[in-house]
């Protein structure tokens, strides 16, 4: 089994360092011989950039990840002890990632080729979006319809967006497709009552049962799913913006806070829904990987 590393560049842990969770996950997959062969465990680009930003030693960092195989919170504690986290530097770093573009012929050929974009028709250059679409397309081909032999948590974050620009929709796609293939971690429902999955579909004025039936029967690529959403739903900019704002500002209720912190083995520290959901995903992903 080899996996596409679905944790995206913009994901952050409690330290607020974008790309750091992706670096952690790629290197854990690499250390356990589970990283898809098409992915380097440490690129000379963003991976090296974030290591340098944190004033970490590259060899020492990779040796720690490969040797100790820490969970994510353990890795952040190690980063704090061995590097330097400057909030203003982290904020500039995050802003640069959002604005980053792919423009070289080689990178456009690579990402467009994996995604299935026609260079004579498409003009997208957002590095974040193109990298996400590339990951999702390769996951669909290599993992969902390939050799992903064990159930896993849906490490694709609620903050991730496709071309429609709505949060949660890619995660809803992933969870529903994993469940249809019997590959979704048992702790995760797909589109439970009152869930973000359900609220996202409603924000797009989609028929929930029809959307889930389509995903379960067709197991589409993400872009095929967005095409279906455009045909079947209502793409309202105001509704999407309102949903995204609620999701990004959402805090968990006390019962959920207690549950996730207990899973993490931590005293109650955080309240933000996005952060806690990410940490829970990464906790379960680490545990599942260590059992392979």
**Extents of the domains making up the chain:** 1-100, 101-248
Between CA 193 and CA 186 the distance in angstroms is 17
Closest CA to 256 of 284, 239, 275, 231: 275
The Cα-based distances of 167 to 60, 124, 145, 243 in angstroms read: 36, 19, 25, 8
Tens of pLDDT, residues 29-50: 999 999 999 999 999 999 999 9
Tens of pLDDT, residues 239-269: 999 999 999 999 999 999 999 999 999 999 9
Q: Give the model's confidence band at 2: pLDDT under 50 very low, under 70 low, under 90 confident, else very high.
A: confident
What pLDDT is stored for residue 146 in this prediction? Answer: 77
Q: Is the dihedral of CA 257, 258, 262, 268 positive or negative?
A: positive
What pLDDT is stored for residue 148 in this prediction? Answer: 73
Q: For residue 273, how many other CB atoms are within 10 A of its CB?
A: 21
pTM here? 0.96
pLDDT above 80: residue 105: yes
């Amino acid at each position: 089994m080899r996996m596409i590393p679905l944790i995206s560049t913009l994901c952050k842990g409690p330290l607020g360092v974008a790309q750091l969770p992706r670096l952690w996950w790629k290197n854990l997959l690499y250390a356990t011989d589970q990283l898809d062969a098409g992915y380097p465990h440490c690129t000379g680009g963003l991976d090296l950039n974030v290591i340098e930003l944190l004033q970490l030693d590259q060899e020492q960092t990779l040796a720690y990840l490969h040797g100790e195989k820490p969970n994510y919170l353990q890795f952040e504690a190690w980063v704090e002890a061995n590097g330097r986290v400057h909030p203003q530097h982290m904020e500039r770093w995050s802003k640069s990632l959002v604005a980053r573009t792919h423009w070289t012929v080689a990178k456009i050929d690579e990402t467009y080729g994996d995604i299935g974009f026609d260079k004579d028709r498409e003009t997208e250059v957002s590095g974040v979006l193109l990298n996400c679409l590339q990951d999702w397309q390769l996951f669909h081909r290599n993992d969902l319809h390939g050799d992903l032999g064990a159930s896993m948590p849906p490490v694709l974050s609620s903050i991730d967006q496709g071309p429609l620009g709505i949060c949660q929709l890619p995660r809803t796609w992933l969870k529903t497709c994993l469940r249809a293939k019997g590959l979704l971690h048992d702790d995760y429902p797909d589109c439970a009552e009152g869930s973000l999955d359900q609220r996202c579909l409603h924000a797009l004025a989609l028929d929930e049962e029809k959307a889930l039936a389509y995903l379960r029967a067709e197991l589409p690529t993400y872009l095929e799913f967005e095409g279906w959403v455009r045909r079947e739903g209502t793409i309202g900019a105001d509704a999407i913006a309102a949903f995204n704002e609620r999701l990004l500002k959402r805090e968990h209720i006390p019962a959920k806070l207690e549950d996730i912190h207990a899973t993490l083995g931590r005293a109650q520290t955080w309240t933000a829904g996005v952060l806690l959901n990410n940490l829970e995903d990464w906790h379960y992903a680490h545990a599942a990987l260590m059992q392979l």
